[in-house]
Copies of this chain bind each other. A is one copy, B any other.
Amino acid sequence: MVRKVGKIRDVARETGLSIATISRVMNGAQNVSPKTRERVLLASKQLDYLPNPAARTLSTNKSKTIAAIIPTIENSVYAKYIAAIEQTLAERGYSLVMAISNADPDQEFAAAGKLLGMGAEAFILSGAAHSKDLIDLFERREVPFVFTSVWDPDSRKPNIGYDNFALARGAVEFLAAKGHRDIAVIHGPLCESDRTRARREGALAGGGAGTRLEFYETELSVAGGKQAARKALDAHKVCSALLCFSDVQALGAYFAFSEANVRIPDDISVMGFDNLDWSEHVSPALTTINLPARKMGRAVADQLMDLLDDGIPIRPLQLEGAIIERGSVRNVNS
């Protein structure tokens, strides 16, 4: 993959040392005299020597590469998350290879095969719903993997994330406590995401006796949120609050309402999910649920590297989400 560059033997010849010593220096081994080390480093620089990663991988059986497969990278919290993973891996000399599955288990399976065949040593997956073939593949080959964005203490698979069910339930309870009895819930495609399904169940659980929930399934985008909000407006003028399972959809709702001359929060309350960077800057500032995407990315990356480097098993981890109360939800009790 790199042509015309010095190899370990060239450095050995140049310095009059053996290739073993060069290898030691390149790998930071302790048992090399400072002088020798200097000499090697110098020669390496001159010869523009860089260890061949493939040879290294072949020899050590370690590629220092971790794969992440995500449903999408656009319009969502995944960008933050991936950025955190990449940075964390980079800090410890690991690299990230990633693939986009478009939330399709078959694409995910195909991608995993390629990434495996690329040398990925471990996999970061989104959600807990994956093709059986994929999990079988990983287990057969003993490839470590972890589910993220989900938290299920009872799962036998390692997972690091938040409790979507509880968070959504909390959101509905929060709205109910503010006096909202009729709540429209906008969410993305159920078939694509077990997180969305869990949130929907949670919302249902949070809606007590006096609370009516109306669900709107739509595309996970500003356009989708806008369209669904419009539909909610048409269907029942009665709902006093809108809960979106994604800030992106909430933004769409903002514009739907703006065009319909419906004021937030005076005429209707809006609550989001994700706490994306911009959500506090919309007007009115969006009340939403903070999802610690960055922290999650760091945690997964660190744990996987701990496992690969030191054999430390994955410790399933629940990350706390929290309601961020801002101006888009009105208390209608008073």
Which residues of A does B touch, CB under 8 Å? 1-5, 48, 50-55, 57-58, 61-65, 72-75, 79-80, 82-83, 86-87, 90, 93, 95-100, 111, 113-121, 140-143, 221-223, 226, 248, 251-252, 255, 258-259, 277-278, 280-283
Complex contact A278–B222 (CB within 8 A): yes
What is the total number of copies of this protein in its complex? 2
Contact A96 B95 (CB under 8 A): no
Taking CB as reference atom, which chain B residue is nearest A257?
Answer: B283
- Identify 7 residue pairs between A and B in the complex whose beta-carbon atoms are under 8 Å apart, listed by A's number: A1-B65, A1-B120, A54-B119, A73-B82, A74-B83, A75-B79, A87-B100
Shortest Cβ gap from A313 to chain B (Å): 16
Q: Give A64's nearest chain B residue, CB to CB.
A: B118
* CB neighbours of A95 from chain B (8 A): 97, 99, 114-115, 118
Distance between A72 CB and nearest chain B CB, rounded to angstroms: 7
Taking A54-B54, A222-B278, A255-B283 as given, write out 10 further A-B residue pairs in contact, using a Cβ cutoff of 8 Å, ordered by the A residue number. Answer: A3-B141, A48-B141, A53-B57, A53-B117, A58-B58, A74-B277, A75-B278, A86-B99, A95-B118, A96-B99
Given A100-B87, A118-B95, A143-B2; A63-B54 close (CB under 8 Å)? yes
Known: A117-B53, A259-B283. A5 touches B141 (CB 8 A): yes
Query: Which 3 pairs show the lowest CB-CB distances between chains A and B?
Result: A222-B278, A54-B57, A54-B58
Within the complex, which residue of B65, B75, B98, B278 is in contact with A251, where a contact is CB–CB below 8 Å? B278
Instruction: For the complex, give the distance between the alpha carbons of A301 and B330 in Å.
Output: 49
